[in-house]
């Protein structure tokens, strides 16, 4: 006598149920949320570090420019004076290219340069306009002490 082909108990239980799949998706979503929350603050720290590094690099090149020429670039000449020779007055005596290009801040904006400075009246102000991209607001980060 032949047995009828019945399904074994293992074959009836071989797939995942909808509840099991939903639980896995919820756990993955929870882990992604925790990772995003944890990394969110690190992004702000990284942007602040980039600004500090860029400001230090630019300040160093401004010191070299001033030592070569006896004066820093004017506000009109700006930071472009470190990349290409200024054609406006005061004309530098011993100009040479000090940067390949002026770095941009983390928000894609140019660093601001004002000489003489408003905050550093005996020198110059060099700063990022910050997240709001508006100079003169509280989120500006520059070469002055808060």
96-133: pLDDT as tens digits? 999 999 999 999 999 999 998 899 888 999 999 988 98
Q: What is the pLDDT of residue 10?
A: 56
94-121: buried (b, 16+ CB within 10 Å) or exposed (e) per residue? eeeebbeebbebbeeeebbbbbebeebe
Extract the runs of DSSP E, i.e. beta strands, from 1-146.
112-114, 125-128, 141-142
Whole-angstrom Cα distance, residue 126 to residue 92? 20
The CATH number for 17-142, chosen from 3.40.109.10, 3.30.390.50, 3.40.50.300, 3.30.700.10, is 3.30.700.10
pTM of the model: 0.70
Q: What is the pLDDT of residue 5?
A: 58
pLDDT averaged over the chain? 86
Q: What is the pLDDT of residue 111?
A: 95
Instruction: List the domain boundaries for the chain.
Output: 17-142
Q: What is the pLDDT of residue 110?
A: 94
Q: What is the pLDDT of residue 51?
A: 94
Q: What is the pLDDT of residue 71?
A: 92
User: Which stretches of the chain drop beneath a pLDDT of 50?
Assistant: none
**93 and 69 Cβ atoms separated by less than 8 Å:** yes
Q: What is the pLDDT of residue 21?
A: 87
Q: What is the pLDDT of residue 13?
A: 59
Q: What is the pLDDT of residue 11?
A: 55
Place of tokens 């997240």: 131
């Amino acid at each position: 006598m032949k047995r009828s082909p019945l399904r074994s108990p293992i074959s009836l239980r071989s797939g995942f149920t909808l509840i099991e799949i939903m639980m896995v998706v919820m756990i993955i979503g929870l882990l992604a949320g925790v990772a995003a929350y944890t990394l969110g603050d690190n992004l702000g720290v990284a942007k602040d570090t980039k600004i500090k590094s860029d400001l230090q690099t630019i300040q160093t090149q401004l010191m070299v420019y001033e030592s070569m020429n006896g004066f820093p670039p004017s506000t009109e000449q700006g930071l472009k004076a470190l990349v290409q020779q200024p054609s406006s007055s005061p004309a530098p005596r011993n100009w040479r290219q000090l940067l390949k290009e002026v770095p941009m801040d983390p928000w894609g904006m140019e660093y601001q340069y004002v000489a003489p400075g408003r905050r550093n009246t005996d020198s110059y102000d060099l700063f990022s306009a910050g997240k709001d991209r508006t100079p003169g607001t509280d989120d500006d980060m520059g070469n002055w002490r808060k």
